[in-house]
Structure 1
Amino acid sequence: MTGGKKAQRARPHRKALQLLQRINRRHVKLAVAGTLAITSLSLQPVRNALDQIRSSGELHLVGVSSPGTFFQQDGHIHGLQYELARQFANELGVKLVVDPVESPQRVLHAIRRNQAQLALTGITAEDPRLKRLRVSDPVIEVRQQLVQRNDQIPPASLQDLGGRVIGVMAGTAEASHLKSQLRGVDGVKLVELRQGQTLDLLSLLDEGRIDFVAVNSQDFDAFRPLFPALRDSLSLDRTDGVSWVFLKSQDQSLYQAAQDFLARKQADGTLQRLTDFYSNGNVFDSYGARSFSRDIAKRLPRYQGDFEKQSRAQGLDWRLLAAISYQESKWNPDAVSPTGVRGLMMLTSSTAAAMGVKDRTHAGESIQGGTAYFKQIHDKVPASVPEPDRTWMALAAYNMGPGHMIQARKLTKRLKGDPDSWLDVSRNLRQLAQENRRRGKPAPDVGQALHYVQQVRRYYDAIALNTSVQREATRVAALDFDISTTTALR
C-alpha cells in the first residue's frame, strides 16, 4: 500500500515533467522555424524601385495638365511629355497611370512623399525647387525670353528696360537669371508672382498691369492662342532644359532606366519628332493668333451647338469636330475649294450623298455628314490602336483615304515598327508613297496628310484651351506678388 501511494503521488510530477518537455520541444521547433524564415528572407534579393514597378504593373506619373506637359480631353490624354512617358511605360511592360494636379508645387509635394514615381513639373531643370530631387537629362530644350504687348516698341537691349515693370514667377530659374542680368539696369522693377501660374503672368501683361513677362519659350508657345495681343520680345540669351523628375534616394534603378530610355529616344530621333508634332510652329504668330481669336469669338458660337449635338450622337469630342471644320473651312459654310469640295466640313459631292447630306452649304447638314463620315473612319481603325494614336490615324485616313492608312500600318509592321503607334506609322508614309509610285499604284499626298493631322491637333488643343481656361478678373486682381527695383538688389 505504501509503495502504491508513493507511485500515485509521483504520477503528477511525471506528468508535469512530460508537459514541460513537450513545451520545450515546441519552443525549439518554433525557434528553429523562425530562424529558418529569417535566414530565407535574408537570402532573397531586395527588390529595387524598378522591380517593384514591374511587379505592380503600373508606373505612376504626377504632373500639371497644361499645353506644355499633357492635355486631358474627353477622357483621353495626349501631349509630348505624356507620349514619351507612355513609351517608357510600354518598354517597362507596365501601364502608365496619370495623376493630374493643379500646380508644380503639388507635383513636387507628391513626388517628395513617394505618391508617384515620375513627375512632370513643366519647370526648367535649373529651377531651385528641384535641388533636392533627381532630375533627368533634358527632354526638351527651351529658351528664356521676354514677352510684350503688340502695341509696345520692342527693346533693343536690356538697358532699354529702365523704368519698366517685368513679371516673373518667384523662386524660378527665370527669376534668378533675370535678376542677375538686370543688376546694371537702373529703375527696372520686378513683379515676382508667389502664387499662380504662367497663365496668370500673361494675363497681367495682357491687361496692361505690367510691361513684360519673363517665361520660357515652350510656355509662351503653348498659351499663345489665348493671347493674340502678345508677342515675343527680347531674348534673355539662356537655354534651359525641361526634364523628368524623380525622388532622390540611394535606389537609382528607375532613374537610370529613364536616362537610358531618353538617350535612346534622343539618338533615334523620337524626341525631335514628338517636339515637332506638338509644337505650334507659326500657326499662332501675331496674325494667326488674332485671326483665330476673332473666329473663336464670332464664328464658333454660331456652330458650337451643332458640333455638340453631333458629338453626343457619335461619341466624339465636339472640340475635335470643330478643329476639323476649322482646318477645312475656317468655319465658313460658303467655303469652296478648286476641286469642288464645299461647306463647313468641305465634303465632296459623293461623300455628302453617302452621308445623306442634301445641301453641303447648310451648316447643320455639313457638320452631321462630316461627323458621320469621320466616325466611320475612326471606327475602322483597329481596337488595338490606343488613343490618341487612334485619332491621329483616323485624321490621316480622313484626309488621304482609309486604304492608304491600312497600307501604312502593314508597311510599319513589315519594317519591325509598331503599327499601333502614329509616330511609327507616320514615319513610314513617305516610303509607302515611293513604293506605290514604283508599282504604278495611287500614292498618298504624304506632306498634305501629315500637315493636316498636325494642324487639326493644333486647333483641337487651342479650342480646348479657349473653352476650358477661365481667366477670372477677380482672381487675377488678387494675385500675391512682390515688387522690387533692381537698384535695391545691387
Structure 2
Amino acid sequence: MRLTLLLPLLLLSGCDLQKSHLDRVQDNDELVVLTRNSATTYYQGPFGPTGLEYDLAKGFAEFLGVKLRLVTPDTLSDILDDIQSGRGDVAAAGLTITEERKRILNFGPAYQHITPQLVYRSGHRAPGNIEDLAGTLEVVAQSSHAEKLRQLQKSYPELTFLENPELESEELLYLVWEQVIDYTVADSNEISINRRFYPELRVAFDISAPEPLAWAFPPGEDLSLLNKAREYFDKLNRSGRLEQLLDHYYGYVSNFDYVGTRRYMKHIKERLPPFRKWFEEAGKETGEDWRLLAAMGYQESHWNPKAVSPTGVRGIMMLTQKTMQHLGINKSRHNAQASIEGGALYLTNIKKKLPERIKDPDRTWLALAAYNVGFGHLEDARILAQEAGANPDKWADVKKFLPLLSQKKWYKKTRYGYARGREPVRYVENIRSYYDILVWLTDKDKLPTEVSPAFKIDTPAL
C-alpha cells in the first residue's frame, strides 16, 4: 500500500524534472529576471519603474503571458553567479558577450552594440593610448572591461588596474569626475547618459571595437526559454519596437549640449518672450515667482513645447499625461500654456505635501528636487539625513544625501530604492542659477515684477 501511494508522487516528481525551462516559467506564471540598478538598465524613476532592460523584460513577460519579477543582486558578480546557478530565468543587465562568459552561460540575440571606452576628466592630460596612462585605473570587478584589460596586459605588461567589487560603472564615472581616481572604463551608452550630469568627463580612446549586449541564460542544453527570447527579439526587430526603445533612451543624448550662461541669456531673448505671459499667469494663480517657473521650464525643456524625454514626459514642464489628468488639465502636454499651468500646480502640490515647519527657500528647493526625482526618493534622502544627525528640513543637508540613493550600501536601506540621486542636486542648483540670472535681467530692465519673500536673499546660488 505504501509503495502504491509513493508511486504517483515519484511519477509526478519525475514529470516535473522533465519539464522544459519554458514550461516551468509558464507553470509558475512568473519570469524571474536578474538585473541591476542603473540608468541604462532599471531603476525607480519619478513616475515608476523605468530603464531599457526593464522595458525589454516587461515586454518579454507579456510575450510569454506571465508575471514579471525583478531581482537586483548586490553586484555584477552576484548576477553572473546567480544566473549560472539557475537562481534566475534570465539576466538582463546590460551584459557584454565575451569569450569567458560564453564558456559558462548561454546568450540570447544581441539587442545593442556598445564600445568600451577609457574615460578621464578634462583638465588632465588626455592619454593617447594604453602606454600613456599615468594614474589610477579602476573598473568594475568581473566586468567585461576587466576581462578586456587582462587581455591587453599580454601586450602591455606595464598596464595595471584595480577591480572594484562594490561600485557600479556609474559610480566609478562619478569618482573620475570628482578626481578621486584618474581613469575608468565604461560602455559608450553609459558615458552618453552620464556626461549630461558630469560634463567634464572626456573619452580618451576606445578599448576595443564595438561589442554586443545580450541577455544571459542558465548553462545547459535546455534552450526552450532562450529560443522564445529569440522569437521575442525577432518580433521587436521586425516591428521596429527595439529601434524605438533604443531611440527612446539614447536618441536624445547624442544631441546633448552643455548650455552655458551665454547660451541661456540668448535663449531668454529669443525663446522666452512667447511664453512669458503664461509663466506670469501661472505664477499669479499659484503664488510662485514666474521667474522660478520659467527657470524650471528652461531646465526641463529649454522652453521647447515639443520636447519629449526618454521617460515619456512631454512639453515645456515635462509632465506625464497621468499627472496632467490628476491636475484636472485635459489638454495636450504640447500645449505650452497648459504645460506651464500644470507644472506650476504640480510644484505647488508637492510643497503642500512637505511638513509645514519647512520654510522657504528650503521648502522650494526640496520641492524642486521632488519634482525631478520623485517625492518618495526625496523622503528617503531626508530620512538618511535625519539618521545621520543632519537636518532633513534643510536643502544644504539633504542635497548631500540624495547622491547616496545611487549607491547600494544606502539605497538598500530605503523604501523606494535606487535613484539617480545626483541628478536632482544638479537640477535644483541649475534652476537656482537660471533663476538668479532672470532676476538680474528683470531688475536690470526695471520691469514690474514682484519677488516672493522666499527669494529675497543676498547670497548667490551655489
Q: Deviations over 1:299-334 (max 9, x none)?
A: xxxxxxxxxxxxxxxxxxxxxxxxxxxxxxx9xxx8
Question: Which residue matches 1:377?
Answer: 324
What is the aligned counterpart of 1:63 among 35, 38, 61?
Answer: 35
Distance 1:101 1:45, change over 3 A: closer
Q: What is the CA–CA distance in structure 1 between the aligned matches of 2:97 and 2:139, rounded to whole Å?
A: 17
Q: How many residues align?
A: 334
**TM-score (normalised: structure 2):** 0.57
Q: What is the CA–CA distance in structure 2 between the aligned matches of 1:185 and 1:194, rounded to whole Å?
A: 24
* 2:120 aligned counterpart, secondary structure: strand
Q: What does 1:277-296 align with in structure 2 at a 5 Å threshold?
A: 277-279=248-250, 281-282=252-253, 288=258
Q: Is 2:53–2:94's contact at 8 Å kept on the other side of the alignment? A: no
- Aligned pair 1:155/2:113, yes or no? no
Question: Which residue matches 2:240?
Answer: 269
* 2:219 aligned counterpart, secondary structure: coil
Amino acid at match of 2:78: R
Question: Which residue matches 1:98?
Answer: 70
Question: Which residue matches 2:107?
Answer: 135
Q: Deviations over 1:347-395 (max 9, x none)?
A: 485xx49x9447771648998xx799976634499xxxxxxxxxxxx99
Question: Which residue matches 2:332?
Answer: 397
What is the aligned counterpart of 2:274 among 340, 344, 350?
Answer: 340
Question: Which residue matches 1:193?
Answer: 164
Amino acid at match of 2:114: V
Q: Is 2:106–2:217's contact at 8 Å kept on the other side of the alignment? A: yes
Q: What is the CA–CA distance in structure 2 between the aligned matches of 1:82 and 1:110, rounded to whole Å?
A: 18
Distance 1:165 1:87, change over 3 A: same
Point out where structure 2 has 5 or more consecutive residues left out of the alignment: 297-316, 339-370, 379-398, 410-462
What is the aligned counterpart of 1:177 among 134, 144, 148?
Answer: 148
Offset of residue 90 of structure 1: 0.9
- Aligned pair 1:145/2:80, yes or no? no
* 1:52 aligned counterpart, secondary structure: helix
Q: What is the CA–CA distance in structure 2 between the aligned matches of 1:63 and 1:203, rounded to whole Å?
A: 21
* 2:60 aligned counterpart, secondary structure: helix
* 1:340 aligned counterpart, secondary structure: helix
Q: Deviations over 1:207-227 (max 9, x none)?
A: 435432222112222333442
* 2:231 aligned counterpart, secondary structure: helix
Offset of residue 155 of structure 1: 3.5
Question: Which residue matches 2:198?
Answer: 227
Offset of residue 65 of structure 1: 1.2
Q: Is 1:164–1:189's contact at 8 Å kept on the other side of the alignment? A: no
What is the aligned counterpart of 1:115 among 87, 90, 93?
Answer: 87
Q: Is 2:192–2:254's contact at 8 Å kept on the other side of the alignment? A: no
Question: Which residue matches 2:449?
Answer: none
Q: Is 2:116–2:185's contact at 8 Å kept on the other side of the alignment? A: yes
Question: Which residue matches 1:470?
Answer: 404
Amino acid at match of 2:54: Y
**TM-score (normalised: structure 1):** 0.55
Q: Is 2:46–2:374's contact at 8 Å kept on the other side of the alignment? A: no
Q: CA RMSD in A?
A: 4.9
- Aligned pair 1:73/2:45, yes or no? yes
Q: What is the CA–CA distance in structure 2 between the aligned matches of 1:37 and 1:66, rounded to whole Å?
A: 45
* 2:113 aligned counterpart, secondary structure: strand
Q: Is 1:336–1:342's contact at 8 Å kept on the other side of the alignment? A: no
Deviates more, 1:73-82 or 1:137-146: 73-82
Offset of residue 91 of structure 1: 1.2
Question: Which residue matches 2:365?
Answer: none
Q: What is the CA–CA distance in structure 1 between the aligned matches of 2:101 and 2:331, rounded to whole Å?
A: 42
Question: Which residue matches 2:210?
Answer: 239
Q: What is the CA–CA distance in structure 2 between the aligned matches of 1:395 and 1:213, rounded to whole Å?
A: 48
Q: What is the CA–CA distance in structure 2 between the aligned matches of 1:204 and 1:366, rounded to whole Å?
A: 29
Question: Which residue matches 2:290?
Answer: 361
Q: Is 1:49–1:253's contact at 8 Å kept on the other side of the alignment? A: yes
Which structure has the larger Rg over C-alpha atoms? Answer: 1
* 1:211 aligned counterpart, secondary structure: coil
Distance 1:395 1:162, change over 3 A: farther
Offset of residue 181 of structure 1: 3.6
Q: What is the CA–CA distance in structure 2 between the aligned matches of 1:232 and 1:395, rounded to whole Å?
A: 45
Amino acid at match of 1:361: W
Q: What does 1:404-423 align with in structure 2 at a 5 Å threshold?
A: none
